[in-house]
Structure 1
Amino acid sequence: MKTQLFIAGLLMASTQVVAKNSIETIIEKYNVEHCHTELKTMASDIIGSKKHRLLVSNQTNKNELETLLVTGVLEYKDRQSHITFSMSHSGGHCEVAYKESFAVKNPCIVVREEVFKKWQFKGKLNDETHVFSHKRDENFVGYMTSTKDGSYCLVSRQKKTS
Protein backbone atom coordinates (compact mmCIF):
# COMPACT_ATOMS: atom_id res chain seq x y z
CA MET A 1 0.00 0.00 0.00
CA LYS A 2 2.86 2.39 0.83
CA THR A 3 4.39 1.71 -2.58
CA GLN A 4 1.10 2.51 -4.32
CA LEU A 5 0.76 5.78 -2.38
CA PHE A 6 4.36 6.69 -3.22
CA ILE A 7 3.80 6.03 -6.94
CA ALA A 8 0.51 7.95 -6.87
CA GLY A 9 2.33 10.88 -5.26
CA LEU A 10 5.03 10.82 -7.94
CA LEU A 11 2.42 10.76 -10.70
CA MET A 12 0.60 13.74 -9.16
CA ALA A 13 3.87 15.68 -8.89
CA SER A 14 4.86 14.92 -12.48
CA THR A 15 1.43 16.03 -13.73
CA GLN A 16 1.85 19.34 -11.94
CA VAL A 17 5.25 19.90 -13.54
CA VAL A 18 3.87 19.17 -17.02
CA ALA A 19 0.95 21.57 -16.45
CA LYS A 20 3.35 24.44 -15.80
CA ASN A 21 4.33 26.23 -19.00
CA SER A 22 7.87 27.41 -19.68
CA ILE A 23 7.18 31.09 -19.00
CA GLU A 24 6.52 30.29 -15.34
CA THR A 25 9.85 28.47 -15.13
CA ILE A 26 11.60 31.43 -16.77
CA ILE A 27 10.02 33.88 -14.31
CA GLU A 28 11.40 31.82 -11.42
CA LYS A 29 14.81 31.01 -12.93
CA TYR A 30 15.57 34.59 -14.05
CA ASN A 31 14.14 36.24 -10.92
CA VAL A 32 11.70 38.38 -12.88
CA GLU A 33 10.46 40.91 -10.33
CA HIS A 34 7.54 42.63 -12.10
CA CYS A 35 4.55 41.93 -14.34
CA HIS A 36 4.22 38.25 -13.29
CA THR A 37 0.45 38.12 -13.55
CA GLU A 38 0.27 39.82 -16.95
CA LEU A 39 3.04 37.67 -18.42
CA LYS A 40 1.67 34.39 -17.02
CA THR A 41 -1.88 35.21 -18.16
CA MET A 42 -0.84 36.08 -21.71
CA ALA A 43 1.45 33.04 -22.02
CA SER A 44 -1.27 30.77 -20.66
CA ASP A 45 -3.81 32.15 -23.16
CA ILE A 46 -1.44 31.74 -26.10
CA ILE A 47 0.41 28.53 -25.21
CA GLY A 48 -2.33 26.65 -23.38
CA SER A 49 -1.39 22.97 -23.39
CA LYS A 50 0.49 23.11 -26.71
CA LYS A 51 4.00 21.73 -26.88
CA HIS A 52 6.50 24.60 -26.88
CA ARG A 53 10.07 25.60 -26.23
CA LEU A 54 11.11 29.04 -24.98
CA LEU A 55 14.48 30.75 -24.70
CA VAL A 56 15.36 33.99 -22.91
CA SER A 57 16.88 36.27 -25.56
CA ASN A 58 17.44 39.32 -23.39
CA GLN A 59 16.88 40.51 -19.83
CA THR A 60 17.55 43.89 -18.23
CA ASN A 61 17.03 44.93 -14.64
CA LYS A 62 18.53 48.35 -13.97
CA ASN A 63 17.24 50.97 -11.55
CA GLU A 64 13.53 51.50 -12.33
CA LEU A 65 13.56 49.52 -15.61
CA GLU A 66 13.05 45.79 -16.04
CA THR A 67 12.69 44.12 -19.44
CA LEU A 68 12.47 40.53 -20.62
CA LEU A 69 12.46 39.15 -24.16
CA VAL A 70 11.57 35.48 -24.65
CA THR A 71 11.54 33.76 -28.05
CA GLY A 72 10.43 30.28 -28.94
CA VAL A 73 8.53 27.74 -30.97
CA LEU A 74 4.90 26.75 -30.49
CA GLU A 75 3.59 23.51 -32.00
CA TYR A 76 0.11 23.11 -33.45
CA LYS A 77 -1.30 19.91 -34.98
CA ASP A 78 -0.46 21.01 -38.53
CA ARG A 79 2.35 23.57 -38.13
CA GLN A 80 4.89 25.29 -35.92
CA SER A 81 5.07 28.99 -35.22
CA HIS A 82 7.71 31.37 -33.95
CA ILE A 83 6.63 33.26 -30.85
CA THR A 84 8.03 36.18 -28.90
CA PHE A 85 6.95 37.42 -25.49
CA SER A 86 8.20 40.78 -24.27
CA MET A 87 7.77 42.44 -20.90
CA SER A 88 8.69 45.94 -19.83
CA HIS A 89 8.25 47.51 -16.40
CA SER A 90 9.04 51.17 -15.94
CA GLY A 91 7.64 53.83 -13.65
CA GLY A 92 5.26 51.37 -12.03
CA HIS A 93 3.66 50.46 -15.38
CA CYS A 94 3.74 47.00 -16.98
CA GLU A 95 3.51 46.32 -20.68
CA VAL A 96 3.46 42.75 -21.93
CA ALA A 97 3.24 41.78 -25.60
CA TYR A 98 3.29 38.67 -27.74
CA LYS A 99 3.98 38.16 -31.43
CA GLU A 100 3.53 34.96 -33.40
CA SER A 101 4.37 34.16 -37.04
CA PHE A 102 3.85 31.11 -39.20
CA ALA A 103 3.61 30.15 -42.87
CA VAL A 104 0.70 28.27 -44.39
CA LYS A 105 0.89 26.41 -47.70
CA ASN A 106 -2.39 27.86 -48.93
CA PRO A 107 -3.36 31.10 -50.62
CA CYS A 108 -4.17 33.90 -48.18
CA ILE A 109 -7.83 33.91 -49.27
CA VAL A 110 -8.14 30.39 -47.81
CA VAL A 111 -6.16 31.31 -44.70
CA ARG A 112 -8.42 34.33 -44.18
CA GLU A 113 -11.36 31.97 -43.68
CA GLU A 114 -9.39 29.68 -41.35
CA VAL A 115 -7.48 32.14 -39.18
CA PHE A 116 -9.15 35.56 -39.43
CA LYS A 117 -12.77 34.68 -40.27
CA LYS A 118 -14.20 36.51 -37.25
CA TRP A 119 -11.67 39.35 -37.28
CA GLN A 120 -12.40 42.83 -38.60
CA PHE A 121 -10.56 43.95 -41.74
CA LYS A 122 -8.57 47.12 -40.95
CA GLY A 123 -6.80 47.81 -44.23
CA LYS A 124 -3.89 47.02 -46.51
CA LEU A 125 -0.25 47.87 -46.04
CA ASN A 126 0.44 47.03 -49.70
CA ASP A 127 -1.00 44.72 -52.39
CA GLU A 128 0.09 41.57 -50.54
CA THR A 129 -0.40 42.48 -46.86
CA HIS A 130 -3.79 42.78 -45.12
CA VAL A 131 -4.33 43.90 -41.52
CA PHE A 132 -7.06 42.66 -39.18
CA SER A 133 -8.11 43.35 -35.61
CA HIS A 134 -9.88 41.02 -33.22
CA LYS A 135 -13.56 41.97 -32.80
CA ARG A 136 -13.46 41.80 -28.99
CA ASP A 137 -9.89 42.99 -28.36
CA GLU A 138 -8.47 46.03 -30.17
CA ASN A 139 -5.01 45.19 -28.81
CA PHE A 140 -4.98 41.93 -30.82
CA VAL A 141 -3.87 42.56 -34.43
CA GLY A 142 -3.22 40.16 -37.29
CA TYR A 143 -1.35 40.38 -40.60
CA MET A 144 -1.54 38.22 -43.69
CA THR A 145 1.05 38.47 -46.47
CA SER A 146 0.85 36.50 -49.69
CA THR A 147 3.95 35.24 -51.48
CA LYS A 148 4.48 36.55 -55.01
CA ASP A 149 3.13 33.35 -56.59
CA GLY A 150 0.24 33.21 -54.10
CA SER A 151 0.91 29.63 -52.97
CA TYR A 152 1.93 30.49 -49.38
CA CYS A 153 0.62 32.89 -46.79
CA LEU A 154 2.68 34.40 -43.97
CA VAL A 155 0.53 35.00 -40.90
CA SER A 156 1.52 37.18 -37.95
CA ARG A 157 -0.50 37.93 -34.84
CA GLN A 158 0.38 40.29 -32.05
CA LYS A 159 -1.22 41.33 -28.81
CA LYS A 160 -0.29 43.71 -26.04
CA THR A 161 -1.72 44.46 -22.65
CA SER A 162 -3.75 47.63 -22.43
Structure 2
Amino acid sequence: MKSTTVINNSNNKPTGIAKLAVLFGCVLLAACGSSGEEEQARPVFTQLNELVPAGYVCKDAVLTVGGELILQKKHYLHLQQASDSQLNITGVLEYNDRPAHVSFGAYQNQGGECVVDYKLSYQLDTPCMAAREEAFKKYNQIGTLGDKTRYFEYKRNPNKTVFLTNINQDLQCLVGVNLTEAVSATP
Protein backbone atom coordinates (compact mmCIF):
# COMPACT_ATOMS: atom_id res chain seq x y z
CA MET A 1 0.00 0.00 0.00
CA LYS A 2 1.36 3.40 -0.97
CA SER A 3 1.58 6.14 1.59
CA THR A 4 1.14 9.76 0.66
CA THR A 5 2.70 12.59 2.60
CA VAL A 6 1.14 16.03 2.57
CA ILE A 7 3.45 18.91 3.39
CA ASN A 8 2.04 21.83 5.32
CA ASN A 9 4.63 24.56 5.52
CA SER A 10 2.63 27.71 6.13
CA ASN A 11 5.51 29.85 7.45
CA ASN A 12 8.05 29.25 4.71
CA LYS A 13 6.32 28.37 1.43
CA PRO A 14 8.68 27.16 -1.30
CA THR A 15 8.12 28.56 -4.78
CA GLY A 16 9.16 27.74 -8.31
CA ILE A 17 12.24 25.48 -8.46
CA ALA A 18 11.99 24.65 -4.74
CA LYS A 19 8.48 23.18 -5.22
CA LEU A 20 9.66 21.18 -8.21
CA ALA A 21 12.68 19.89 -6.27
CA VAL A 22 10.51 18.78 -3.34
CA LEU A 23 8.03 17.08 -5.68
CA PHE A 24 10.83 15.33 -7.62
CA GLY A 25 12.47 14.22 -4.38
CA CYS A 26 9.19 12.81 -3.09
CA VAL A 27 8.60 10.87 -6.28
CA LEU A 28 12.12 9.41 -6.26
CA LEU A 29 12.26 8.55 -2.59
CA ALA A 30 8.54 7.84 -1.99
CA ALA A 31 8.91 9.81 1.23
CA CYS A 32 10.06 13.30 1.94
CA GLY A 33 11.04 15.49 4.83
CA SER A 34 10.49 19.16 5.34
CA SER A 35 11.57 21.78 7.81
CA GLY A 36 7.86 22.48 8.37
CA GLU A 37 5.17 20.31 9.84
CA GLU A 38 4.30 17.04 8.11
CA GLU A 39 0.86 15.55 8.07
CA GLN A 40 0.19 11.96 6.98
CA ALA A 41 -2.61 11.47 4.46
CA ARG A 42 -5.61 9.44 5.57
CA PRO A 43 -5.02 5.71 5.14
CA VAL A 44 -7.24 3.57 2.93
CA PHE A 45 -9.61 1.67 5.19
CA THR A 46 -11.15 -1.67 4.37
CA GLN A 47 -13.94 -1.57 6.94
CA LEU A 48 -16.90 0.64 6.09
CA ASN A 49 -17.90 1.23 9.73
CA GLU A 50 -14.39 2.57 10.47
CA LEU A 51 -14.47 4.84 7.45
CA VAL A 52 -17.76 6.67 8.07
CA PRO A 53 -17.28 9.46 10.65
CA ALA A 54 -18.98 8.81 14.01
CA GLY A 55 -21.11 11.96 14.02
CA TYR A 56 -22.23 11.72 10.40
CA VAL A 57 -26.01 12.16 10.29
CA CYS A 58 -26.55 9.47 7.62
CA LYS A 59 -24.11 6.91 9.05
CA ASP A 60 -26.75 4.21 9.63
CA ALA A 61 -28.10 4.60 6.07
CA VAL A 62 -24.59 4.40 4.58
CA LEU A 63 -23.76 1.30 6.62
CA THR A 64 -27.04 -0.37 5.61
CA VAL A 65 -26.84 0.31 1.86
CA GLY A 66 -23.05 -0.08 1.74
CA GLY A 67 -23.23 -3.29 3.75
CA GLU A 68 -25.78 -4.76 1.32
CA LEU A 69 -23.52 -3.84 -1.58
CA ILE A 70 -20.28 -5.12 -0.06
CA LEU A 71 -21.61 -8.17 1.82
CA GLN A 72 -18.61 -10.45 2.45
CA LYS A 73 -16.57 -9.37 -0.58
CA LYS A 74 -12.96 -8.38 -0.08
CA HIS A 75 -12.90 -4.61 -0.53
CA TYR A 76 -10.68 -1.56 -0.43
CA LEU A 77 -12.36 1.75 0.32
CA HIS A 78 -11.25 5.34 0.49
CA LEU A 79 -13.10 8.27 2.03
CA GLN A 80 -12.88 10.92 -0.66
CA GLN A 81 -14.94 13.63 0.92
CA ALA A 82 -16.78 14.05 4.18
CA SER A 83 -18.60 16.91 5.82
CA ASP A 84 -21.44 17.12 8.31
CA SER A 85 -23.94 16.82 5.46
CA GLN A 86 -22.23 14.91 2.65
CA LEU A 87 -20.07 11.82 2.20
CA ASN A 88 -18.35 10.22 -0.82
CA ILE A 89 -16.51 6.88 -0.76
CA THR A 90 -14.71 5.19 -3.64
CA GLY A 91 -13.09 1.80 -3.85
CA VAL A 92 -12.74 -1.65 -5.31
CA LEU A 93 -14.81 -4.76 -4.56
CA GLU A 94 -13.24 -8.14 -5.30
CA TYR A 95 -15.68 -10.65 -6.76
CA ASN A 96 -14.56 -14.27 -7.23
CA ASP A 97 -13.85 -13.71 -10.92
CA ARG A 98 -13.28 -9.94 -11.27
CA PRO A 99 -12.75 -6.63 -9.53
CA ALA A 100 -15.41 -3.90 -9.60
CA HIS A 101 -15.10 -0.18 -9.07
CA VAL A 102 -17.56 1.29 -6.63
CA SER A 103 -18.47 4.83 -5.69
CA PHE A 104 -21.15 5.66 -3.19
CA GLY A 105 -22.24 8.67 -1.31
CA ALA A 106 -24.92 10.08 0.90
CA TYR A 107 -26.45 13.37 1.91
CA GLN A 108 -29.44 14.50 3.94
CA ASN A 109 -32.19 16.06 1.83
CA GLN A 110 -34.51 18.90 2.87
CA GLY A 111 -37.10 16.39 4.06
CA GLY A 112 -34.63 14.95 6.55
CA GLU A 113 -34.15 11.69 4.65
CA CYS A 114 -30.72 10.33 3.87
CA VAL A 115 -30.25 9.88 0.15
CA VAL A 116 -27.71 7.14 -0.53
CA ASP A 117 -26.53 6.28 -4.01
CA TYR A 118 -23.95 3.96 -5.45
CA LYS A 119 -22.41 3.27 -8.79
CA LEU A 120 -20.73 -0.04 -9.52
CA SER A 121 -18.86 -0.88 -12.72
CA TYR A 122 -17.11 -4.00 -13.95
CA GLN A 123 -16.26 -5.94 -17.08
CA LEU A 124 -17.60 -9.38 -17.94
CA ASP A 125 -15.86 -11.79 -20.30
CA THR A 126 -19.14 -12.57 -22.00
CA PRO A 127 -21.30 -10.68 -24.51
CA CYS A 128 -23.97 -8.42 -23.04
CA MET A 129 -26.82 -10.58 -24.39
CA ALA A 130 -25.54 -13.51 -22.32
CA ALA A 131 -25.08 -11.25 -19.28
CA ARG A 132 -28.64 -9.99 -19.70
CA GLU A 133 -30.01 -13.54 -19.73
CA GLU A 134 -27.88 -14.74 -16.81
CA ALA A 135 -27.74 -11.84 -14.37
CA PHE A 136 -30.23 -9.18 -15.40
CA LYS A 137 -33.44 -11.12 -16.23
CA LYS A 138 -35.40 -9.15 -13.65
CA TYR A 139 -34.70 -5.85 -15.37
CA ASN A 140 -36.90 -4.17 -17.99
CA GLN A 141 -35.16 -2.59 -20.95
CA ILE A 142 -35.85 1.14 -21.00
CA GLY A 143 -33.94 1.98 -24.15
CA THR A 144 -30.60 2.26 -25.86
CA LEU A 145 -27.88 4.84 -25.50
CA GLY A 146 -25.83 4.91 -28.67
CA ASP A 147 -25.16 1.83 -30.76
CA LYS A 148 -23.71 -0.47 -28.11
CA THR A 149 -25.39 0.36 -24.79
CA ARG A 150 -28.72 -0.85 -23.45
CA TYR A 151 -30.33 0.74 -20.41
CA PHE A 152 -32.39 -1.34 -17.93
CA GLU A 153 -34.49 -0.71 -14.82
CA TYR A 154 -34.98 -3.23 -12.03
CA LYS A 155 -38.61 -4.45 -11.98
CA ARG A 156 -38.91 -4.25 -8.17
CA ASN A 157 -37.11 -0.91 -7.75
CA PRO A 158 -37.07 1.67 -10.56
CA ASN A 159 -34.29 3.52 -8.70
CA LYS A 160 -31.89 0.67 -9.57
CA THR A 161 -30.67 0.83 -13.16
CA VAL A 162 -28.12 -1.03 -15.26
CA PHE A 163 -26.17 -0.09 -18.36
CA LEU A 164 -24.80 -2.94 -20.50
CA THR A 165 -22.26 -1.90 -23.12
CA ASN A 166 -20.72 -4.27 -25.65
CA ILE A 167 -16.94 -3.85 -25.85
CA ASN A 168 -14.00 -5.59 -27.57
CA GLN A 169 -15.90 -6.48 -30.75
CA ASP A 170 -18.97 -7.47 -28.70
CA LEU A 171 -17.09 -10.29 -26.95
CA GLN A 172 -17.17 -8.60 -23.52
CA CYS A 173 -19.64 -6.50 -21.60
CA LEU A 174 -19.06 -3.37 -19.54
CA VAL A 175 -21.64 -3.28 -16.74
CA GLY A 176 -22.69 -0.19 -14.82
CA VAL A 177 -25.12 -0.53 -11.91
CA ASN A 178 -26.70 2.55 -10.29
CA LEU A 179 -28.94 2.78 -7.24
CA THR A 180 -30.39 5.78 -5.43
CA GLU A 181 -32.41 5.30 -2.25
CA ALA A 182 -33.93 7.67 0.27
CA VAL A 183 -33.73 6.24 3.79
CA SER A 184 -35.11 7.78 6.96
CA ALA A 185 -32.38 9.34 9.10
CA THR A 186 -32.26 7.96 12.62
CA PRO A 187 -32.28 10.53 15.42
Interval containing the TM-score (normalised by the shorter chain): 0.7 to 0.9
Say if 2:172 is the partner of 1:149: no
1:89 corresponding residue in structure 2: 108
Higher helix proportion: 1
Q: 1:87 to 1:105 in 2, by over 3 A?
A: same
Which amino acid is 2:138 matched to? K
Unpaired segments ≥5 residues, structure 2: 1-45, 183-187
Letter matched to residue 54 of structure 1: L
C-alpha separation in 2, matches of 1:37 and 1:56: 16
Match of 2:48 in 1: 23
- Secondary structure at 1:138 match in 2: coil
Tell me how far apart the structure 1 counterparts of residues 99 and 123 of structure 2 sit (CA, whole Å): 9
Deviation of 1:152 (Å) = 1.6
Change (3 A) 1:32 1:71: farther
TM-score normalised by length of structure 1: 0.78
Matched, 1:60 2:79: no
In structure 2, give the amino acid aligned to 1:48: L
The separation in 1 between residues aligned to 2:71 and 2:77, in whole angstroms, is: 14
RMSD: 1.6
What does 1:74-113 align with in structure 2 at a 5 Å threshold? Answer: 74-91=93-110, 92-113=112-133
Structure 2 CA distance for aligned equivalents of residues 105 and 159 of structure 1:
24
- Structure 1 gap segments, 5+ residues each: 1-20
The structure number with the bigger radius of gyration is 2
Distance 1:78 1:148, change over 3 A: closer
Residue 68 (structure 2) aligns with: 45
- The one-letter amino acid of 1:59's match is A
Which residue does the alignment assign to 1:120? Answer: 140
